[in-house]
Amino acid sequence: MNKQCTIAALSLLISACTLGPNFEKPTLSIQDKFQGAENYKTDDSSAFIQWQQAYQDPELQRLIKKALAQNYDLAIAISRIKEARALANVADAAFYPSIGVFAESERASEGSASEYDDNHQLKGELSWDLDLFGYNRRASEAAWANLAGLGQARNVVEINLIADVASTYFALKDLEEKIQLSQSTITLRERALHIAQLRKTNGMVSGLDVRQAEVELESAKVTIPKLELQRLETINRLKLLIADEQTTIATSIDLTEQTLPVTIPVGIPSQVLKRRPDVLQVEAELHAATAEVGMATANLFPKITLTSEFGFESSQLSGLLSGDSTYWELVGGITQPLFNAGKLQNSLTAAEERAYQASLAYQKVVMNAFLEVSNELMAFKSSETIYLSQERLLISSKEYERLARLRYRNGVASALDLMDAQRKLFDAQLSFSSAKKDRLVTFVNLYRALGGGWG
């Protein structure tokens, strides 16, 4: 009984010895609120709005679901998680003894060819690293921290994927609207050219009006090929994101009818940083790097290994399993590095520097996250202002074109005045389409910056 207690106490003492620094999450001084968040709610974060609530267009939701199921980058990230989990289990296997079975039959002859010496063995082998200074524990800690980091890396991919699909979809809608506007404008300008030609034939206008109408028509036509190319490139980009080159993009809600959340709760910086997976990823990477310092430290100290054999050995196969054939052996070994030309010490120095680099990377990502949210808040606010201004400009341009057309019909204004008004209306329509798209895309970027979309 006393012997068992002694062994248990020794095991407890051994397990309590783990060298190297323990991971502590860095403390950073950050502001209480984001720059540009003055007019936003801070009691919660829009990151906690599910992407299905953020993007309510049915076709966009279909594309996002398809991307989450099929995207190549996301599949790679998931595979890396599975790989890391397997490696973490490999690291944990070092906590347990290694057990094997060995069987051998041997016949040897010395001198006389008619005389043989037979030897038969059946034995079990056990080897166990006592992990006196915690190398295996730190290796396991590093492996599981690495797994956690890859899990967050997968979430980063998911956030970016959802945002990329949404922004690309909105860009496609913008291009389709501009193509429709251009085609409608071409139809109107073809009609205007025909009228100008008739009026010239009747001597009502000069050739200058006809040429001006031709210029306006060709300037509208030249926009189509460029827009069509951009549309094709955008569709192909969507196909790559959803990993399906045969997919079709259905006509759905246009840009004007796309809805955004009524309120956009931003949250406070500390809350957002806990939500952003890129911050959580570098935190896990710092944890892993810290554990690797412990591994390098433990390598400087002795390694103790217990090896045991138990089995049967006999010259007669029939008597192999008899009690007289049993034997056992227990061996304890210790290995202490004495000279390796500074290899182990330099390995420790390298591990410490990697941990320092990981700490700097963590600080950088945290600062970048804070500034990114501030930038996207200002960008979204700016896009809202531009959207409203472009909407007013479009209304004014429509009225200006209506009055110019009325004055032209009454003979008060020239054809040049009418074409100038029509050109300004066309430009305002294109600009308003861009403003609608930019407003939606800046929301996408803000939602991404707040860490929304995953989980």
Domain ranges for the chain: 18-107+115-182+255-450
Closest CA to 213 of 426, 37, 416, 407: 416
Sequence-separated (6 or more) residues with CB below 8 Å from residue 355: 21, 286, 289, 290, 292, 293
pLDDT digits (tens, 9 = 90+) for 331-370: 778 888 887 888 999 999 999 999 999 999 999 999 999 9
> Residue 120: what pLDDT?
67
How far is it, in rounded angstroms, from Cα 396 to Cα 192?
A: 22
DSSP state of 111: S
Rounded to 10 deg, the angle between the 415-449 and 135-201 helix axes is 170
> Residue 320: what pLDDT?
59
Q: Is the dihedral of CA 408, 413, 416, 421 positive or negative?
A: negative
314 bridge partner residues: 120
> Residue 9: what pLDDT?
46
DSSP state of 26: P
What pTM was computed for the model?
A: 0.86
Q: Return the higher-pLDDT residue of 366 and 106.
A: 366
Pull the structure tokens for residue 169: 């979809």
pLDDT digits (tens, 9 = 90+) for 146-178: 999 999 999 999 999 999 999 999 999 999 999
Average pLDDT over residues 67-95: 96
Band (pLDDT 50/70/90 cuts) for residue 66 is: very high
Pull the structure tokens for residue 146: 């690495």
How far is it, in rounded angstroms, from Cα 366 to Cα 31?
A: 12
How far is it, in rounded angstroms, from Cα 361 to Cα 359?
A: 5
How far is it, in rounded angstroms, from Cα 387 to Cα 435?
A: 5
DSSP state of 256: G
pLDDT at 104 over 90: no
Residue 335's alpha-carbon distances to 253, 296, 298, in angstroms, are: 71, 16, 12
Fold (CATH) for 18-107+115-182+255-450: Outer membrane efflux proteins (OEP) (1.20.1600)
> Residue 238: what pLDDT?
96
Pull the structure tokens for residue 43: 């009691």
pLDDT at 7 over 50: no
How far is it, in rounded angstroms, from Cα 334 to Cα 312?
A: 27
Average pLDDT over residues 294-307: 91
Residue-wise over 27-43: b if at least 16 C-beta within 10 A, else e? eeeeeeebebbeebebe
Highest average pLDDT, of 26-35, 263-272, 373-382, comes from 373-382
H or E segment and range at residue 308: strand 303-314
Q: Return the higher-pLDDT residue of 180 and 27.
A: 180
Least confident stretch, 145-154, 306-315, 379-388: 306-315
Please, is 24 exposed, middle or buried when counting C-beta atoms within 10 Å of its C-beta (0-12, 13-18, 19+)? exposed
